[in-house]
A and B are shown apart, each in its own frame.
Chain A
Amino acid sequence: MRGLRSALGLLFRELLGENLFLFVAILLLSLFPGLLLLKEMVPGGGEQVVHPGILFALEFVPLFFLLVYGTAALSRQRERGSLSLLFTRPLKREEWLAAHWLTLMGVLLFLELTLSLSASLFLRLLFGAPWLLPLGKHLFFSLLRAGVLTSLALLLSATLSRSIASTLFLLLSLIGQLLRSGLEASASGGGFLGKVVQGLSLLLPDLSLFDRKTELLYGLPLPGEIYLSTALYALFYGGFLFFLASLLFRRREL
């Protein structure tokens, strides 16, 4: 446990110390396109209870952040050769992986909270928009999604080189996001291929489950069962990826 704590401290210092300006850049990058370009993401349809740009930004931040840092977390250390030095300390590999997961999630939580609050304040001051209320729900789904994505990024980072890991991460994230449309298309086509796609889809991360933008945007009711089942899915699938990562990382040459 002490090992985990020291590892966490190490990683936080490394991430925040080296990349603070980059985080600010990510925030601005995600905030301004979100607020300005996507202001009319849903042009005039119904009464929106939350700004669609914020929802977009909250989804964009974890993806971009994990693409840059998550997929590089272990592979960069391995490529630098610092990983073998690190394990001269009394630290288990699972603990190191867990430290990475917690650090990435911690930074993501910080980024998303900062983003939500600043965007809400910005909209409140400029347009007098209502704030905070629906953002909490979106943060919930966004963080669950980020948890699964972090596990995925660590799995790829633990097993593959940095460039392949980031490419694969991007690909799987996109597939995960579009999974539902693909499944619908294959289901409507029917046949053997449709069934194969349906089966394969269970192996891939189904990120479309976390996509509740429409409901949040228009203030549509979301039953409590949705929150529970989505959280459980994130827990089990994220856990599955994490355990797979730790199994593979444990057996891998440093």
Chain B
Amino acid sequence: MRARSLPVLLLLLMWSLSALLSLHNRRGREGSSGETFTPLGRLIRTFSLGNEELAADLLMAKAAVGYGRRREGRGRAPLSFGDSFDTVVEVDPFNEEAYLIGARLLSDNEPERAVTLLKKGAKRLPRSWRVPELAGSLLAWRVGEPLQGAELYGIASSRPGAPLYIPALASRLNREGGEITLALEILERFSLSRGDRTLFRGRIGALRREEELFRLSRSAERGLLPLAGVGDFGEGSAEFLPERLVDFLFQEGQTLILERVGPPYRIAFTSSGPLLWAGLRKELINTRILSAGLGRSLPLSLQERVLEPLFREAEEKAKVEGSGFWGIERVGELDDSASLPNFPWLGRVRVNPWRVERLGDGRFRLLLP
């Protein structure tokens, strides 16, 4: 009897020990990270035997439940939700909701991963505007890449059914990022695709003007630099004038200094609302430079070939007649002209930080970068 019961007792002992260890391990695992990893989507796709949509829905439900568990800090959850949703969209690549739900959940902690998921979706679903729209929004406001966000908004705006706010946002983000041409293109394309010329008419007009001003400023910038280098401000000032002028033109917040740089020429540096103005003879040059340069780019070779002789000519004339000058001043002060030297002016060029336009009579309003 004893010999027979011994093996049974031994069996029971082993089983109970193993059961205890199993329970112990289970408890240990509940308290641990409790993370799982997701199998390859292609594998699930193969084994779903044509029921990819169903498999994807189940996987998505599982991932969403895992997400809730992770948030509440209980139970097992996928190691990376990016992996889970990658698998879901690999199993059923045409499920728009999977991309959207996945990205919204992922955007909490992994916005870059959410964007990657949505970019995949944007490629696979060429008629969906919601997928690139969400990607654009995440890029612009979560990841902090407004220009990339604008690009995605641009894609979304070209998709059928995209609401009006999408091209408006794309355009705004592009404009704020300095891509005025792109901003304009998006609105124009959208207006054309809808066959409604009145759409965004006001904004398109404003952007066209802004684009023109931007181009003007770029050209003006090229025209002004050699002008600043003309040595007709007296010997002492010739060395530092170009640098100071450039500094002034491309930096805001400088204090106004009205400086006599040798009779009869003057130059003024201002903090805001500056003016570039031309005197009796140099006005001709300024006007020609700006006319030649504004609205199109002016290559350096052209500046040297065409403008340099004009500089020299004007310089000579100004020296002989003692009445030519050019310079920069604050808008209000120049308009009053009280502080300005009493020179006979023929025209002037007006420079404001954010505007460039032709004012007539040889006057230009410039955009400073």
- The reply to whether chain A is a binding partner of chain B is yes
Binding site for B on A (CB under 8 A): 37-38, 40-46, 52, 180, 183-184, 188, 201-203, 206, 209, 213-214, 217-218, 220, 225-226, 229-230, 232-233, 236-237, 239-240, 243-244, 247
B332 at the interface (CB under 8 A from A): no
Residue of B nearest to A33 (CB): B43
The proximity string for B residues 31-45 relative to A, scoring 1 for CB distances below 8 Å and 0 otherwise, is: 001011111111100
Are A44 and B39 neighbours in the complex by a CB distance under 8 Å?
no
Nearest to B14 among chain A residues (CB) is A240
CB distance B35 to A236 under 8 Å?
A: no
Do B82 and A243 touch (CB < 8 A)?
A: no
Contact in complex: A233, B18 (CB < 8 Å): yes
Q: How far is the CA of A230 from the CA of B8 in the complex (A)?
A: 24
Extra A-B contacts (18), CB below 8 Å, given A180-B29, A226-B28: A38-B39, A41-B39, A41-B40, A42-B79, A44-B83, A184-B76, A202-B19, A206-B25, A206-B26, A209-B25, A230-B25, A236-B15, A236-B18, A237-B15, A240-B18, A243-B7, A243-B10, A247-B8
Judge whether B229 is part of the interface by a CB distance below 8 angstroms: no
* Distance of A12 from chain B, by nearest CB (Å): 28
The closest CB in chain A to the CB of B80 belongs to: A45
Q: How far is the CA of A41 from the CA of B83 in the complex (A)?
A: 9
With A42-B79, A213-B37, A214-B35 as known contacts, state yes or no: A183 contacts B25, CB within 8 Å: no
Task: Say yes or no for B17: interface residue by CB 8 A criterion.
Answer: yes
On whether A244 and B11 interact (CB within 8 A), knowing A184-B76, A230-B25, the answer reads yes
Residue in A37, A38, A218 whose beta carbon sits within 8 Å of that of B79 in the complex = A218
| Closest chain A residue, CB of each to CB of B38 | A42
B40 & A243 in contact (Cβ 8 Å cutoff): no
Given A37-B43, A202-B22, A237-B18, the answer on whether A247 and B79 have CB atoms closer than 8 Å is no
- Contact of B38 with A247 in the complex, beta carbons under 8 Å: no
> Nearest CB to that of B12 among chain A residues?
A240
CB distance from B102 to the nearest CB of A (A): 13
> DSSP class of B's interface residues: helix, strand, loop or mixed?
helix
The 5 tightest CB contacts between A and B, nearest first, are A45-B80, A237-B18, A236-B18, A240-B14, A233-B21
CB atoms of B80 and A183 under 8 A apart: no
B41: chain A residues at CB < 8 Å are 43
**Across-interface contacts of B43 in A (CB, < 8 A):** 37-38
Nearest A residue to B116 via CB reads A44
Does B226 reach chain A (CB closer than 8 Å)? Answer: no
Size of interface on B: residues with Cβ below 8 Å to A:
36
- Asked if A240 meets B42 with Cβ closer than 8 Å, knowing A45-B79, A46-B79, the reply is no
Q: In the bound complex, do residue A229 and residue B33 qualify as a contact, i.e. CB atoms below 8 Å apart?
A: no
Q: Flag if B40 contacts A209 (CB, 8 Å).
A: no
Interfacial residues, chain B to chain A (CB-CB below 8 A): 7-8, 10-11, 14-15, 17-19, 21-26, 28-29, 33, 35-43, 75-76, 79-80, 82-83, 86-87, 90
B14 x A229 contact (CB < 8 A): no
Query: Would B40 and A202 count as touching, CB distance under 8 A?
Result: no
Q: How far is the CA of A236 from the CA of B12 in the complex (A)?
A: 10
Q: For A220, what are the chain B residues with a Cβ–Cβ distance below 8 Å?
A: 33
Provide the residues of chain A in CB contact with B10, threshold 8 Å: 243
CB neighbours of B8 from chain A (8 A): 247
**Which residue of chain B has the shortest Cβ distance to A231 in the bound complex?**
B21
Chain A residue nearest to B23 in the complex (CB): A202
B83 neighbours in A (Cβ, 8 Å): 42-45
Residue picked from A40, A45, A206, A247, most chain B C-beta under 10 Å: A45
Bound-state Cα–Cα, A220 to B21, Å: 22
Q: Which residues of chain B are within 8 angstroms of A46 by Cβ–Cβ distance?
A: 79-80
Contact B22–A240 (Cβ < 8 Å)? no
